[in-house]
Amino acid sequence: MAYCAKEDRYETMLYNRCGKSGLKLPAMSLGLWHNFGYGSSYETAREIILGSFDMGITHFDLANNYGPPAGSAEEAFGKMLANDLKSYRDELVISTKAGYDMWPGPYGNFGSKKYLVASLDQSLKRMGLDYVDIYYHHRPDPETPMWETMDALAGLVRQGKALYVGLSNYNPAQLKEAAALLKEMGVPCLIHQHRYSMLQQDNAALIPVIEEAEMGSIAFCPLSQGLLTNKYLHGIPADSRAAGKSVFLNENAITEDLVKKVSALNEIAAERGQSLAQMALVWALKAGRLTSVLLGASRISQVEENVKALSNREFTEDELKRIDEILK
Ligand SMILES: NC(=O)c1ccc[n+]([C@@H]2O[C@H](COP(=O)([O-])OP(=O)(O)OC[C@H]3O[C@@H](n4cnc5c(N)ncnc54)[C@H](OP(=O)(O)O)[C@@H]3O)[C@@H](O)[C@H]2O)c1
């Protein structure tokens, strides 16, 4: 059936300015790392993407290697863009990345100009786009001179193939150096993307660098791939990421200690009238001083539940103290 976006899609989502740029991002964005490749149902993926847009999620995050197989999430998303979202292109912020292994040989990964230019061309082709809104370097390259990587990114912006540049998984010193180079080149870094959740809070040293460079920040795995939900409290559901084929999460992550922590957090969430997922997301936004959190989802009901969290974003001092105690 032809898709027509909901009229009221912008009424409840919160939009935050990305650093000191002109761009606003939804407080909750959607990532296509899992569940959007050829191994997943296209109809379910379409339901998640279109349903998310109907809730005001304007930002969709991809990478060259998302699938499996690598490239297939971009291809599936490209099909949805062509069939359903064509007339909404200017309402979308689409990002992609390059940095991890994409094709064989010495030019298919890391941060050379050779790789970054070719990879963006491939991504644009797979998605059927003239430009992406944000092009990320996905991980720092220990060998390529930082100048070359930043020059490649800045050049792609000048060519109009990307509107903004982002960096991901850089440590504070690397981010500082890269941000200074990009500024000098006249293409300031828009945003940094890093892992952040109640269970993985290792961004303290990144925050001052991000704020000094006036960029925004977006967290990946804000629910620690689903661990920060109530789904693993009584075993491992067959349809969960931990039980599935993902090489990034398996049952070994569900330890007794984790379940104890998650149960205690779940009690605080219930007192707040929220699910644990909802509380974990708004906590991450606030504690991580983030522009946006990147949701992952295996079904649309998860996104529906998660965006509702935005109506209860405040924490009492007592709640914050109790959460810290549990996470110690
Ligand atoms: N830059 C990088 O290096 C990098 C690395 C990783 C990820 N990312 C980005 O970050 C995005 C998000 O990562 P992520 O998928 O790991 O995020 P996440 O939000 O930590 O985990 C998402 C998973 O949690 C479960 N879930 C979500 N909401 C739920 C709810 N309300 N109730 C129960 N379970 C729920 C679902 O898993 P089930 O399958 O169990 O239902 C879902 O797929 C990625 O898509 C990607 O765009 C970037």
Atom of ligand 1 nearest to the CA of 62: 47
- Is ligand 1 within 6 A of the CB of residue 296? yes
- Is ligand 1 within 6 A of the CB of residue 66? no
- Indicate the DSSP class of residue 186: T
Closest C-alpha residue for ligand 1 atom 44: 31
- Is ligand 1 within 6 A of the CB of residue 144? no
Distances in Å between the Cα of 280 and the Cα atoms of 196, 212, 233 are 11, 27, 15
Q: What does the pLDDT look like over 298-318, one tens digit per residue? A: 999 999 999 999 999 999 999
Closest C-alpha residue for ligand 1 atom 11: 31
In whole angstroms, give the CA distance from residue 283 to residue 199: 11
pLDDT above 90 (res 245): no
How many angstroms separate the alpha carbon of residue 63 from the centre of ligand 1? 14
Q: What does the pLDDT look like over 161-204, one tens digit per residue? A: 999 999 999 999 999 999 999 999 999 999 999 999 999 998 89
Q: Which of 80, 26, 35 is nearest to 55 (CA)?
A: 26
In whole angstroms, give the CA distance from residue 189 to residue 182: 6
pLDDT above 80 (res 1): no
pLDDT above 80 (res 320): yes
pLDDT above 90 (res 261): yes
What's the token pair of residue 148?
């070359």
The answer to whether the CB of 185 falls within 8 A of the CB of 158 is no
- Is ligand 1 within 6 A of the CB of residue 298? yes
- Is ligand 1 within 6 A of the CB of residue 220? yes
Q: What are the backbone dihedrals phi and psi of residue 25, each rounded to the nearest 5 degrees, phi first? A: -120, 150
Closest C-alpha residue for ligand 1 atom 47: 31
| Confidence at residue 86, expressed as pLDDT on a 0 to 100 scale | 96
Hey, what's the torsion of the CAs at 41, 43, 49, 50, to 10 degrees?
A: -170
Q: Which of 255, 254, 279 is nearest to 265 (CA)?
A: 279
How many angstroms separate the alpha carbon of residue 11 from the centre of ligand 1? 25
| Confidence at residue 2, expressed as pLDDT on a 0 to 100 scale | 87
How many angstroms separate the alpha carbon of residue 225 from the centre of ligand 1? 5
Closest C-alpha residue for ligand 1 atom 21: 225
CB-based burial, 80-118: b 16+ in 10 Å, e otherwise: bbeebbeeeeeeebbbbbbbbebeeeeebbbbbbebbbb
How many angstroms separate the alpha carbon of residue 34 from the centre of ligand 1? 7
Q: What does the pLDDT look like over 103-148, one tens digit per residue? A: 999 999 999 999 999 999 999 999 999 999 999 999 999 999 999 9
Reduce the DSSP state of residue 207 to 3 states and report it. Answer: helix
pLDDT above 90 (res 24): yes
- Is ligand 1 within 6 A of the CB of residue 266? no
Mean pLDDT computed over every residue of the chain: 97
Q: Which of 214, 217, 119 is nearest to 169 (CA)?
A: 217
- Is ligand 1 within 6 A of the CB of residue 111? no
- Is ligand 1 within 6 A of the CB of residue 140? no
- Is ligand 1 within 6 A of the CB of residue 221? yes
Closest C-alpha residue for ligand 1 atom 9: 220
